[in-house]
Amino acid sequence: MSKAFASQADLEDKKVTFEQISQHAWAYTAEGDPNTGVVIGDDAVLVADTQATPAMAADVIRRIREVTDKPIKYVVLTHYHAVRVLGASAYQPQQIIASQDTYDLIVERGEQDKASEIGRFPRLFRNVETVPAGLTWPTITFTGKLTLWLGRLEVQLLQLGRGHTKGDTVVWLPGERAMLSGDLVEYDATPYAGDAYFQDWPKTLDNIAALKPVALVPGRGPALKGETEVAQGLAGTKAFVSDVYASVQAGAAAGKDLKAVYRETYERLKPKYGQWVIFDHCMPFDVSRAYDEATRHADPRIWTAERDREMWASLES
C-alpha cells in the first residue's frame, strides 16, 4: 500500500487544552484529536462525548475536578461512533443520553463500528483493555429535543438534521448561545463522512447557524470563540462536504468507477484541504460513502474491520 492504513502511522501525542468558552461551557481539545465538551451547571456536570477509553476519559475528569467538585450527572452521546462513546463508564454518570436514532444505530452496527474504529486509530484507543465488555448503551433517548435543567441552567439537546450520522445531537445553551456540536462541525480538521448524509449535512449546518452561536466546541479542532470563528467553522465544514459530494456526484454521473472518482476527488480537494488533520485518513471513507449516496445506497452501509481494509487496499494500493 502507498499509505499507512487510516491513522495507524499517527502515533504522536497531542497537547491538550481545557478552556472555558462561556459562563458554563468548557472545551477539552487536543490539536485535532476528538474533543469533549463540558457543561458545569449549578448542581451538576454534563459531559458530551467521552473519549475512546476510560483511561483516556480519566484525563478529562482530572481537568473537570480542577474547576469543580459537582457530580458528573449526565453523559451525552452526540452520535454512536466508538471513539466518542467507549469512555463513558469512567464518568459513572447517573444517565447516558442519546437520540433514539443513535440508539438504533448502536443496535444495528455498534459492534462492527467498535472493531472498525479500534483498527483505524490505535493511538486514540490507548489502554483499550479498560473498556468494559459490550457497548455503551444510553439510559435515556429522545427524538427532536430534550431539555435538561442543571439547577437554573437550561441545556437543550437538539437534533437539527442528519449530517455526520443520522442520529447527530448538539448540546445547546440558549442563554449563552454556546454549543457542543459533536462531529457536525470541525475546524481545521477533515470531516469524517463514512456514515454521513451528504445531501442533508449542509442544511443541518444552516440550522446550527440559525441559532446564532457565539461559542462552539467542534468535534475536532480548537474551540471556536466569537461569531467570526464560529462562522468560519460552519463554512469550512459546509464547503468540504459540498466539494466532496459535487466531485463524486459528477464522476458517478459520468459513469466512472469508485477508484477513478476517488483519485479525481482527492487531487481536486488536496490543495484546499490537504493540510487539515486526518485528511488522508478520511478521504477514502468519505469518497466511498459519497459514491454510495450518489449511486445506489441512500443510507450508509456498515463499516466492518474487514470492509475497511478491503476498501483501503482497493483505493490506495
Picking from 52, 69, 34, 33, the residue whose alpha carbon sits closest to that of residue 116 is 52
| pLDDT surpasses 50 at 102 | yes
pLDDT digits (tens, 9 = 90+) for 164-203: 999 999 999 999 999 999 999 999 999 999 999 999 999 9
Question: In whole angstroms, what is the distance from residue 80 CA to residue 114 CA?
Answer: 10
Q: Which three cell numbers stand for residue 254?
A: 459520468
Question: pLDDT per residue over 235-281, tens digit each?
Answer: 999 999 999 999 999 999 999 999 999 999 999 999 999 999 999 99
The 10s digit of each residue's pLDDT in 124-135 is 888 889 899 889
Residue 149 and residue 229: Cα distance in Å, rounded? 28
Q: What is the DSSP letter of 307?
A: H
* Percent share of the chain, pLDDT over 90: 91
Superfamily of domain 17-236: Ribonuclease Z/Hydroxyacylglutathione hydrolase-like (3.60.15.10)
Cell 467498535, located at residue: 114
Confidence class for position 1, pLDDT limits 50, 70, 90: very low
Distance CA 49, CA 183 (A): 10
Answer yes or no: are the C-beta atoms of 221 and 234 closer than 8 Å: no
Average pLDDT, the chain: 95
Average pLDDT over residues 12-25: 94
Which grid cell sits at 103?
440508539
Q: What are phi and psi of 254, to 5 degrees?
A: -85, 0
Joined grid coordinates for residue 159: 437534533
Closest to 155 in 3D by CA, of 145, 140, 164, 144: 145
Domain ranges of the chain: 17-236
Strands of 95-99's sheet in order across = 17-20, 25-30, 33-40, 45-48, 72-76, 95-99, 140-142
Rounded distance, CA 204 to CA 32, Å? 22
